[in-house]
Structure 1
Amino acid sequence: MEVRNVRHSYRRRTVLRGVDLHLRGGVVAGIVGENGAGKTTLLKVLAGELRPTHGTVRHSGRFGYCPQHAVLNDALTVRQHLDFFQSAFRLPQLGHAEWIMNVLGLAEYADERAGVLSGGTRQKLNLTLALMHDPQVLLLDEPYQGFDWDTYRRFWALAARLRDAGRSILIVSHLAYDTERLDELWTLTSGVLDPRAADTA
């Protein structure tokens, strides 16, 4: 993913002031910053959900986007969500989705309605839906929010396996958890990715 001079403003308030980013294949990268720094705005721009005021974002291959707040239909079961997204992604089968569910410990909830799931389990489903079409680039906004310790470890094991398979993962968070697990780390400060804060693990 190539990002060049991305800027974004909400009326008179400038949030992004010129973001440049090159996300290589086979890396797990992180962007951290204080609340209100513009992290979610940046991720929405990278995912194509929000058009930047200025600048370009180029993706190579499929990408997946896992927003901070899961957008689920509480009346549908986990399996029905998978069926719906299978049709949307035009997937011939659900083998990859079932593998992710097993890794995250979601398979046992396949017939449960989303409305009765705990926050952490809803986030597992949120992540599965973002990953089920096997994207080359994965954009994650606070992906482990609500996870218990076991699921947290499962998440990082999944991230490592995807990286080893050549996928690119960008994690956006307000805190730099487990920085030793990241290949690259930036801090979003004053609307830019400060190169002085970039760190190669």
Structure 2
Amino acid sequence: MEVRELHHAYGKRRVLRGIDLELHGGALAGVVGENGAGKTTLLKILAGELRPDQGFVRHHGGFGYCPQGVVLHDALTVRQHLELFRTARGLPDLLRAQEIMEVLQFSNYIDELAGVLSGGTRQKLNLTLALMHDPQTLLLDEPYQGFDWDTYLRFWELATHLRDAGRTVLVVSHLAHDTRRLDALWHLADGLLHAHDEVPS
């Protein structure tokens, strides 16, 4: 993924002021920042959900996007969500989705309505939908929100496995959790990305 000179403003408030970022395959990276720093805006632009005022994003291969706000239909079951995304992605089966569900340990919820799932289980489904087409790049906005400790550890095992398989994983969060697991970490502050050891005071 290649990002050059991204700028974005909401009215007179400039949120992004020239973001440059380049990630290669086999990278597990993180972006952290205070609430309101522009992290979600950055991810929406990287995912193509929002058009920047200036600059460009170039993906080499397909990508998956797991937004912070879970987008599920409460009247559909987990299985129906998977089938809907399988059809939309043109996938031959649900094998990859089932593998992820096994890792995250919620396979027994497959026939449950999304509307009755706990917040953590909804987030597991959210992550599965982003991953089930085996994207080259995965963009994750607060991906472990609502996870218990065991699922949190399983998430990092999954992210590390993806990295080792040559995928690019970008995790965005407001806190720098488990930085030792990351190959690279940036802080988003004042509309710019700063290396972990170069955070402005």
Determine if the alignment matches structure 1 residue 102 to structure 2 residue 102. yes
| Contact 1:68–1:142 (CA under 8 A) maintained in structure 2 | yes
Matches within 5 A, 1:110-129: 110-129=110-129
1:196 shift after superposition: 6.3
1:140 shift after superposition: 0.1
1:197 shift after superposition: 3.7
| Contact 1:104–1:151 (CA under 8 A) maintained in structure 2 | yes
- Counterpart position of 1:21: 21
| Contact 2:123–2:146 (CA under 8 A) maintained in structure 1 | yes
Aligned letter for 1:92?
A: P
Structure 2 unmatched ranges of 5 or more: none
- Counterpart position of 2:34: 34
Matches within 5 A, 1:78-157: 78-157=78-157
| Contact 1:63–1:136 (CA under 8 A) maintained in structure 2 | yes
Runs (4 or more) in structure 1 with deviation over 4 Å come to none
- Counterpart position of 1:62: 62
| Contact 2:28–2:184 (CA under 8 A) maintained in structure 1 | yes
Whole-angstrom CA distance in 2 between matches of 1:153 and 1:64: 21
Whole-angstrom CA distance in 1 between matches of 2:42 and 2:197: 17
Whole-angstrom CA distance in 2 between matches of 1:134 and 1:37: 30
**RMSD of Structure 2 on Structure 1 (CA):** 1.1
2:126 is paired with a residue whose SS is helix
Whole-angstrom CA distance in 2 between matches of 1:178 and 1:198: 18
Aligned letter for 1:36?
A: G
* TM-score w.r.t. length of structure 1: 0.97
Whole-angstrom CA distance in 1 between matches of 2:97 and 2:143: 17
1:195 shift after superposition: 3.8
Aligned letter for 2:53?
A: T
- Counterpart position of 1:175: 175
Whole-angstrom CA distance in 2 between matches of 1:192 and 1:126: 28
Structure 1 unmatched ranges of 5 or more: none
Query: Percent of aligned pairs with the same residue?
Result: 69
Whole-angstrom CA distance in 1 between matches of 2:30 and 2:162: 15
Q: How many residues align?
A: 199
